[in-house]
A and B are shown apart, each in its own frame.
Chain A
Amino acid sequence: KQEVTQIPAALSVPEGENLVLNCSFTDSAIYNLQWFRQDPGKGLTSLLLIQSSQREQTSGRLNASLDKSSGRSTLYIAASQPGDSATYLCAVTTGGSYIPTFGRGTSLIVHP
């Protein structure tokens, strides 16, 4: 059964810092990996989707990479801002079931 781990569980950084969030998974037979953002009390907002054949995806200040062989993905946030404060979750969709498995998220605080 696929297991998804996100480290660290919480992160606090000063504004302007570049930062990396990590997501690891146990079964490399994935179809895709998706990064989400969740604000307190709200639903999940999709940030980036990386197909299994891709190595990375970029959107604005966000860049997500995927290394299937090592079971890892990173979400890079450039020049962080207080508005980036949220919980970031990754979800891995595995072959066969097509059911996404979620990590528990990294809670990010960017302070001015």
Chain B
Amino acid sequence: DVKVTQSSRYLVKRTGEKVFLECVQDMDHENMFWYRQDPGLGLRLIYFSYDVKMKEKGDIPEGYSVSREKKERFSLILESASTNQTSMYLCASRRQGDGGNTIYFGEGSWLTVV
């Protein structure tokens, strides 16, 4: 069975802290994504990665960075957490192809910045 695992389900961090959100997939997928989901705004793409060591900015990259050193792992980094980054963060992965493959999501990470 396919699996995307987000290591932290619930986190509470202080303003200014550096925060790491980890995502691991066991399907040997090339493409990985980080979204945030907020009420009334839907899912917004933060960063995506076509393959190892490759990354592209999404719609809202400000305040975030990512790391993809290994194919199975895609990390989202909040360099200096702020209260407006309180949100649900969702990681997803997909096999590379012509864009015609199923996207799989993790269970989400709820981040509260106080």
Asked if A and B bind, the verdict is: yes
A41 to B88, CA, bound (A): 8
The total of interchain contacts (Cβ-Cβ below 8 angstroms) comes to 55
Closest residue of chain B to A101 (Cβ to Cβ) is B45
Select B107's contact among A42, A91, A102, A104, beta carbons within 8 Å.
A42
- What interface size band does chain A fall in? 20 to 34
A104 to B78, CA, bound (A): 25
Contact A43 B102 (CB under 8 A): no
Contact B108 A49 (CB under 8 A): no
- What interface size band does chain B fall in? 20 to 34
Contact A103 B42 (CB under 8 A): yes
Q: Does B60 contact A (CB under 8 A)?
A: no
**Interface set of A (CB-CB < 8 Å, partner B):** 31-32, 34, 36, 41-46, 49, 51-52, 89, 91, 93, 95, 98-100, 102-105
